[in-house]
Structure 1
Amino acid sequence: MNGLDPRVTPANGHAAAHELRGVLEATRYVKGTIRTVQQPLVNLSDAPRGDRSSQLLFGEAFRVIDERDGFAFGQSLRDGYCGYVLSAALSRQEAATHWVAAPATHLYPRARLKAPPEVAIFFGSHVRVTSDLGEFQKISTGHFVPTQHLQRLRARFSDPVGVADMFLGTPYLWGGCSRWGIDCSGLVQQALVACGIDCPRDSDQQSALGRALHQGEPLQRGDLVFWKGHVGIMASDTLLLHANAHHMAVAYEPLDDARRRIAANAEGTSGGAGEMTDRRRITRNG
């Protein structure tokens, strides 16, 4: 055992990233190739045709380390998460200029509201704008996106809870990260990243963010609370906002109710298990 977390270690037994030379043994070491996701969503799986671990959004960058049998193994540049995606979901690297700051947006074939949209992409997706047409922005695919739904690449929100609230009612989906479906840590990651705060993918990784609250220190809006296998964000000192399998959706829930319910759920069958494990206050630098 090398002690490395496989979730963020770009190596799969066939190849490893060049920076891992001398850290772990591999048949070959490669620099990798940066590709761009060309589908609205693509699953990031733990093995070819395996279980979904996370998802990548349209326009996101993915570093390919190894490619065979229609699957690419590599690493998301969003959070360093590693896994397998369908090779057909990736295209050549493209520099984005804007990101989608609405829960979802339609890609119109023409710059007209009545033109039938061909597909939708989701909050956090990256696009390259090629023409500003006022009410619409033309992007590199040839589609048109409502101007109100886009922000410049470096633009950020200021309130993570406000971002998380945009996902209210979104179906719960293990490994999901979009309005189509999202899980607890995906919701927290989207909320923090949209506010310029670096955030890893999984709840156990997120429990290292910010600082632990002192015993007796009251919770406030924006604090994160953790259980084994679960995380939520506080909308106030008493109200929790979280994606969970109990509601099968992103929902508000009184924290005391959630604590009692999860404490009684020793097996974690509906999101989280046992007593609360941590309370963290997030700062702007993470």
Structure 2
Amino acid sequence: MDRRLTPATDRVALDSLRGVLDRPSFVPGQPARVIIPVVDLLDAPEGRRDRQLNFGADVTVIDREAGMSFVRAALDGYCGWIADTALSGSLPPITHRVTAPATHVYLEPDMKRPERFSLSLGARVSVTQIQGRFATLATGGHVPVQHLADGPAGDPVPVAESLLGTPYLWGGNSRAGIDCSGLVQAALTACDIACPGDSDLQRATFAPTDTIARGDLLFWPGHVAMAVSADLMIHATAWTMCVTFEPIRDAIARIDAAGEGPFLGAHRPGGITG
């Protein structure tokens, strides 16, 4: 079973895996929510980063060890370890999500007052009231209403484009740093299109297409980009260490010349017509 998607440690597994895995203990899991701007999702309690979770991400806590929680993310089923201090059992209803590349949470509904922290694209929040140009959050603080929406975006391409220039970060999922599959997931999730977190899972999820159209995903071994048109793509790449545009033909030739190919073709996410 794929470690990334298996809600089990060596000693504890979710009840749904009874009869599938042999573990000393099975649990129903406890719901929790991320309450810091972004947190690393690790492959072990002191391991390396696999992915990240943004503010407001819902998880199921399966196991705990030395100040860390083993969780399964509700967004895509990805499993890993995050710090206990990043989680809360308080689950006010989610009403909005951040649609700007990043925004500030202010102490008061006034842009001239101090900010508490920043949130990234896709962060989920619970708005209790609107005061002029600010939304008050159930978790405390105020966010500019211009940076929030209570419904999905209609086109993943401009969502991806809004992150142009974001630094490349392996396993990153935020404006502070993002990788190729994180960019694709952020863009599709903003449009309510379910999307796994890693490029190999994304390629396995979406159907291949013989033509390349806007919104299609373009794959190489260990890499994914999104087509802006039949000729141009956007991706988060270590080549430039940021989110950038690149002509598709040039990218295919460059990656092949570097020995990192071959091009594996295009796949079309459900909900996108090309």
> Which residue in the other structure is 1:185 paired with?
181
Deviation string 1:112-159 (CA, Å, 9 cap, x unpaired) is 11112121011111111112112111101220111111111xx11111
Q: 1:122 aligns with which of 113, 120, 123?
A: 120
What letter is aligned with 1:222? Answer: G
- Is 1:275 aligned to residue 262 of structure 2? yes
2:49·2:171 contact (CA, 8 Å) conserved in 1?
Answer: yes
> Which residue in the other structure is 2:249 paired with?
256
Secondary structure of 2:262 counterpart: strand
| d(CA) in 2 for partners of 1:285, 1:10 | 30
In the superposition, the TM-score normalised over structure 2's length comes to 0.96
Deviation string 1:151-188 (CA, Å, 9 cap, x unpaired) is 11xx1111111110011000000110111100000000
> Which residue in the other structure is 1:49 paired with?
46
Q: 1:136 aligns with which of 126, 134, 137?
A: 134
In the superposition, the TM-score normalised over structure 1's length comes to 0.92
What letter is aligned with 2:267? Answer: R
| d(CA) in 1 for partners of 2:208, 2:116 | 46
Q: 1:204 aligns with which of 191, 200, 219?
A: 200
Secondary structure of 2:132 counterpart: coil
1:198·1:285 contact (CA, 8 Å) conserved in 2?
Answer: no
Superposed CA RMSD = 1.3
Secondary structure of 1:43 counterpart: strand
| d(CA) in 2 for partners of 1:247, 1:236 | 21
| d(CA) in 2 for partners of 1:231, 1:205 | 11
| d(CA) in 2 for partners of 1:93, 1:124 | 20
| d(CA) in 2 for partners of 1:25, 1:226 | 36
1:96·1:126 contact (CA, 8 Å) conserved in 2?
Answer: yes
Q: 1:59 aligns with which of 49, 56, 59?
A: 56
Q: 2:165 aligns with which of 159, 169, 174?
A: 169
What letter is aligned with 1:124? Answer: G
> Which residue in the other structure is 2:103 paired with?
105
Q: 1:247 aligns with which of 209, 227, 240?
A: 240
Secondary structure of 1:207 counterpart: helix
| d(CA) in 2 for partners of 1:165, 1:250 | 8
What letter is aligned with 2:27? Answer: V
Give structure 2 stretches of 5+ with no counterpart: none
2:120·2:175 contact (CA, 8 Å) conserved in 1?
Answer: yes
| 1:285 to partner: Cα distance | 8.0
1:40·1:122 contact (CA, 8 Å) conserved in 2?
Answer: yes
Q: How many residues align?
A: 272
> Which residue in the other structure is 1:233 paired with?
226
- Give the fraction of aligned pairs with identical amino acids, expressed as a percent: 46
What letter is aligned with 1:71? Answer: M
Give structure 1 stretches of 5+ with no counterpart: 267-272
| d(CA) in 2 for partners of 1:166, 1:34 | 32
Segment of structure 1 superposing worse, 107-116 or 226-235: 107-116
1:61·1:93 contact (CA, 8 Å) conserved in 2?
Answer: no
In the TM superposition, 1:135-154 aligns within 5 A as: 135-152=133-150
| d(CA) in 2 for partners of 1:117, 1:39 | 14
| d(CA) in 1 for partners of 2:74, 2:272 | 18
| 1:278 to partner: Cα distance | 2.3
Instruction: Give structure 1 regions of 4+ aligned residues with deviation exceeding 2 angstroms.
Output: 208-211
What letter is aligned with 1:258? Answer: A
**Structure 1's 11 and 285: CA in aligned 2 closer, same or farther, altered over 3 A?**
farther
| d(CA) in 2 for partners of 1:22, 1:236 | 47
What letter is aligned with 1:284? Answer: G
